[in-house]
Amino acid sequence: MRISIAMMGLALAVIPAAAQPAPTATEIFELRTKCQAMAEKLLTERKAELYGLRGLYIEVKSNLNLTEVRCYAKLEVSYNHKFTDNTISETDSRKDKFVYLYDMNTRELLAGTTEIEYKHGYIFDDYFKEKSSMLFKPQSENYETTTNLINKIMDAKREY
């Protein structure tokens, strides 16, 4: 009797669990809508923090990765020095650019790039750091590696 119960338990352990059914089109639409709303909220918060800077441009994009069930947001901030101090300078054509990648499920900053005189890339999340094998590379490679990582996450398939 004990052997038959043990065999039944083993058989149940070996049988794979039923796969989760694919989400419906309505569920996917709702998840994408919520993801975009979270990204828009981030955009609104950042605009409030930087209120009053002339020559400032901020844009946000969201991507729902259905495989990971994660919502990502890419926030791009650029600042044109031509418009500083409420005057227009024809001689200063510098533009600073910042790109940030957020995990909107946790509101965690995962990675970012800056273009202020020099290009820099930073990956803050250990999982992505390891995945991109970025440790101990020169800064220019960090920028390229980080940019590629951000683009890969934001361009991930939108299909289930």
The model's pLDDT over 136-148, given as tens digits with 9 standing for 90+, comes to 465 556 888 899 9
Q: What pLDDT is attached to residue 26?
A: 92
Asked whether residue 21 is domain-assigned, the answer is no
Give the pLDDT of residue 22.
78
Is residue 112 included in any domain, yes or no?
Answer: yes
Quote the pLDDT of residue 38. 95
**Residue 79, pLDDT score:** 80
Residue 91 lies in a domain: yes
- Taking the model in full, what pTM does it have? 0.73
Residue 128: what pLDDT?
75
- Answer yes or no: is 84 within a domain: yes
Rounded-to-integer distance, Cα 43 and Cα 25, Å: 27
The reply to whether 160 falls in a domain is: no
What is the DSSP-derived secondary structure letter of residue 100? E
Measured CA to CA, the distance from residue 71 to residue 32 in angstroms comes to 8
User: What pLDDT is stored for residue 46 in this prediction?
Assistant: 85
Q: How many domains does the chain have?
A: 1
Has residue 66 been placed in a domain? yes
Q: Is residue 74 situated within a structural domain?
A: yes
Give CA–CA dist 5/7, Å, rounded: 5
Structural domain contains residue 67: yes
Residue 140: give the domain boundaries: 39-154
pLDDT for the residue 83: 55
Strands across the sheet containing 56-65: 56-65, 70-80, 95-103, 108-116, 118-123
Residues in the chain predicted with pLDDT less than 50, given as ranges, are 1-17, 136, 159-160
